[in-house]
Chains A and B, each alone.
Chain A
């Protein structure tokens, strides 16, 4: 339900933020 979604919670899930990937071998 869109009205219950938080925009910041959504965008914080971007793969672009997943800096953990830098540490994957």
Chain B
């Protein structure tokens, strides 16, 4: 008693076969199993049901389960591929795969577009961009006048909205992001290259080979 075998852990809700996940992603089987260590930690932090709830995601990101953040909300919603309010293990791995250093830039550009298309209209609209600028100002406790915010949004639209129709479509975003790769820096997590180093215990115990 008191010792939970890896077989029992694997029956957690939302668990998915690492072999399948490794086939679909850049991760090896060992790396998927190391990611399971991280997943397990986050998904048992508040509600111990083996699924990542929004409060648990916020706790892992901010060390505070009540910290509201527009962008964390967006990331959570996009990771929640089944749209059932929780992130399952397979969703966690497939979504983090986009942030892998070896994942093609095109996938990162597409993910960032969905992230910024707050209302899912297929465009990044002026109002959405303004809402996001206001959110980051609020988060960083920076105070700018409404005029200054309008100027930032206008300037950005001047650069990105090539056909000047007042919204940024996917092709425009692709061109803009390709010209400004620094905008996608947050779409790559160097940690994912060394995930088995960060969580080595499972690799030693799992016996999985690639």
Contact = CB atoms under 8 A, between A and B. Distances in A.
Interface string B170-186: 00000010001011111
B133 A16 contact: no
Interface residues of B, number: 44
A4 to B, nearest CB: 7
A17 B98 CA distance: 13
Given A14-B139, A16-B69, A21 B62 contact: yes
A12 B71 CA distance: 9
B70 interface: yes
Interface string B107-121: 000000000100000
Contacts, number: 99
A11 B136 CA distance: 6
Interface string A1-25: 0111111111111111111111100
B186 A18 contact: yes
B156 A22 contact: no
A13 B136 contact: yes
Given A7-B132, A9-B180, A10-B136, 18 more contacts: A2-B149, A2-B151, A3-B155, A7-B129, A8-B160, A10-B133, A12-B183, A12-B186, A13-B136, A13-B186, A14-B135, A15-B139, A16-B74, A17-B72, A17-B75, A17-B186, A19-B96, A21-B62
Interface of A: 2-23
